[in-house]
């Protein structure tokens, strides 16, 4: 990713900035020109809570270029409390302990180091929430 694009997506990657469709009430992530539920404009910015649960998951053993040092790691579909489903890497958890329905929360972490200039890209990952925090 080029530096300019990295700055453009910073808000959604650091704080789960999405949109709220004022036509049908759906929460949209990532931001789009059109709501995927009602096909009408969804322009109202909305910061998602970052709270959700594991909808599905897998463990990556043979990681793609740039991610080999992190393997093995868990990759999950996360259903946010507001409704959107997104893909994210899980952190702070042994892949063997990940379960469908496990409560998780968004954290900002280093994703990768890119190019000769060493551009460090940060973004969202998810970690388990303690049951006391989940209530």
Residue 11 has pLDDT above 60, yes or no: no
- pLDDT tens digit string along 31-84? 888 999 999 987 788 999 999 999 999 999 998 887 888 889 999 999 999 999
Query: What value, to the nearest 5°, has the Cα angle with vertex 85 and ends 72 and 9?
Result: 80
| Buried/exposed code over 76-90 (b: 16+ C-beta within 10 A; e: otherwise) | bebbbebebebebbb
Domain boundaries, the chain: 3-134
DSSP state of 62: S
Q: Mean pLDDT throughout 28-32?
A: 89
Residue 1 has pLDDT above 60, yes or no: no
pLDDT at 78: 98
Q: Read off the pTM.
A: 0.81
Is residue 46 within 8 A of residue 20, CB to CB? The reply is yes
Could you give the CA distance from residue 57 to residue 123 in angstroms, rounded to a whole number?
A: 19
């Amino acid at each position: 990713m080029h530096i300019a694009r990295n700055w453009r997506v910073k808000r959604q990657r650091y704080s789960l900035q999405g949109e709220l469709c004022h036509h049908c009430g759906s929460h949209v992530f990532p931001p789009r020109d059109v709501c995927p539920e009602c096909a009408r404009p969804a322009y109202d910015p909305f910061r998602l809570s970052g709270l959700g649960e594991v909808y599905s998951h897998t463990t990556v053993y043979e990681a793609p270029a740039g991610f080999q040092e992190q393997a093995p790691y868990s990759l999950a579909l996360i259903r946010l409390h507001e409704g959107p489903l997104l893909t994210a890497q899980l952190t702070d958890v042994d892949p063997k302990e990940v379960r469908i329905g496990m409560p998780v929360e968004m954290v900002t972490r280093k994703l990768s180091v890119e190019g000769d200039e060493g551009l460090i890209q940060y973004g969202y990952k998810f970690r388990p929430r303690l049951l006391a925090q989940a209530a």
